[in-house]
Chain A
Amino acid sequence: MTDLGRDAWLDGEAGPVVRPYAMISGRTRPTHAELDLISIVIATGSGTRAAERAGPELNPEAVRILRFCHDPMSVAEISAHLDLPAGTVKVLLSDLIDQNFIASRSPALDARPAHQILEAVMHGLQAL
C-alpha cells in the first residue's frame, strides 16, 4: 500500500515541513495558563529589537510573532494571520513573556465582564 508518489513530501506543495509541535519542542501546554484566545499582546521595546536582530535565542516563529505584534493583537488574530494553531501561539507567547519580549493583558476568566463594560459594549453595538 505504499504510495511513494503521494507520500513524498519534499516538494513545493508539501506544506510546512516543520510540524507545529516541533516548533515548540513537543510542548502542548503554555506555561502562562492565563493566555486566552482574546488575550491582547504587544511586542515590548526589547522584543522589537530582538526581532530585528533575529538572534539565535529566537526561533523563526517567535520572530514572526514579535514582528506582527507591533500593535496590540489578540492570540486569535496571531493564530489566524500567521497560520499557526492557537495552542502553538500560546506556548510561543509564554516563552516571549518570560523573556520580557511581549507584554500581555488577559481577561478575567473567573467572572463575566463588569457592568460598565457591558454597558459600553451595548452602546458601541447600538452605534455601529
Chain B
Amino acid sequence: MGSKRSDPVLPTAVKILIAGHFGVGKTTLVGAVSEIGPLRTEEILTDAGVGVDDLSGVESKTTTTVAMDFGRITIREDLVLYLFGTPGQERFSFLWDELAVGALGAVVMADTRRLGDSFTVIDYFEARRTPFVVAVNCFHDGKIYEPEEVRLALGLDAGIPVLLCDARRRESSKAVLITLVRHVLLQSQPTGRPA
C-alpha cells in the first residue's frame, strides 16, 4: 500500500438522471439507494444561461445558482454509477444538455396531481433520444392510478416503461433503476428478444 501512484487506474463512471419538478421526490429516490449523501453540487447561472424569463423576483442579482442533489452507487471497484436529481423546469434546460450528454438514461418522476409538469422534460428526452422511464411517486395519500392511465395522460409510446414507486423505499427505488437499465439494454441490442 504505497502512498505514491505513478499510473493510477481510475474507475469508469456512468450517470442516470432523475428528472422531475420541484417536490416530486427526486432527492428522496437518490437518497434511498445512494451509498453517500445525497450530496449537493451547485452551478452558477449567468444571465446568458437563464434566457429572458425568470429573473423577476431576484431583483438586483445578475447571477444565481442552481443546486443538484446527487448520489453514488459503487457497482464494482472499476465502475461507479452516479444519480443526478435535475430540476424539471424548462428554464434549467441548459443544465439538462450537460447532464444528458453520455447519460445511460433518465428517470422522469411524476406526481399524478401535477402530471402536466412532466411534459417539458419528457419532450426533451424524446427529442434527444435519451432513453427514459416514467416513475409515478405514490408517496401521498390519494387515488392510485394505474400505469396505463398515466401513460395515456402523458401520451407516451407503448415501449416506454411506466411504473409506480415509493421513492422513500430502497427496494422500490432500486426497481425503478433496474427497469431503466433493462429498457436501455433492450434498445442497445438490435437483435434482442422482445421483453
Instruction: Please tell me if A18 contacts chain B, counting CB pairs below 8 Å.
Output: no
Please report whether the interface of chain B is mostly helix, strand, loop or mixed according to DSSP: mixed
Instruction: Please tell me if A36 contacts chain B, counting CB pairs below 8 Å.
Output: yes
- Give bound CA distance, A44 to B6, whole Å: 7
From B15, B43, B181, contact of A118 by CB (8 A): B181
- Give bound CA distance, A88 to B43, whole Å: 9
- Give bound CA distance, A112 to B14, whole Å: 9
Q: Which of B171-185 contact A (CB under 8 A)?
A: 174, 177-178, 181-182, 184-185
* Residues of chain B at interface, number, CB under 8 A: 49
- Give bound CA distance, A44 to B178, whole Å: 36
Q: Judging by beta carbons under 8 Å apart, are B11 and A87 in contact? A: no
- Give bound CA distance, A76 to B65, whole Å: 15
Q: Judging by beta carbons under 8 Å apart, are B43 and A87 in contact? A: yes
A125-B41 contact in complex given A107-B13, A120-B79, C-beta closer than 8 Å: no
Instruction: Please tell me if B102 contacts chain A, counting CB pairs below 8 Å.
Output: yes
Residues of A near B10 (CB, < 8 A) are 40-42, 72, 103-105
Instruction: Please tell me if B160 contacts chain A, counting CB pairs below 8 Å.
Output: no
Q: Judging by beta carbons under 8 Å apart, are B41 and A86 in contact? A: yes
Residues of A near B15 (CB, < 8 A) are 37-38, 107
Instruction: Please tell me if B156 contacts chain A, counting CB pairs below 8 Å.
Output: no
Residues of B near A115 (CB, < 8 A) are 185, 188-189
Q: Judging by beta carbons under 8 Å apart, are A85 and B65 in contact? A: yes
Q: Judging by beta carbons under 8 Å apart, are B73 and A125 in contact? A: yes
Instruction: Please tell me if B132 contacts chain A, counting CB pairs below 8 Å.
Output: no
A122-B101 contact in complex given A74-B13, A80-B39, A85-B42, C-beta closer than 8 Å: no
A105's closest neighbor in chain B, by CB? B10
A121-B99 contact in complex given A85-B43, A87-B44, C-beta closer than 8 Å: no
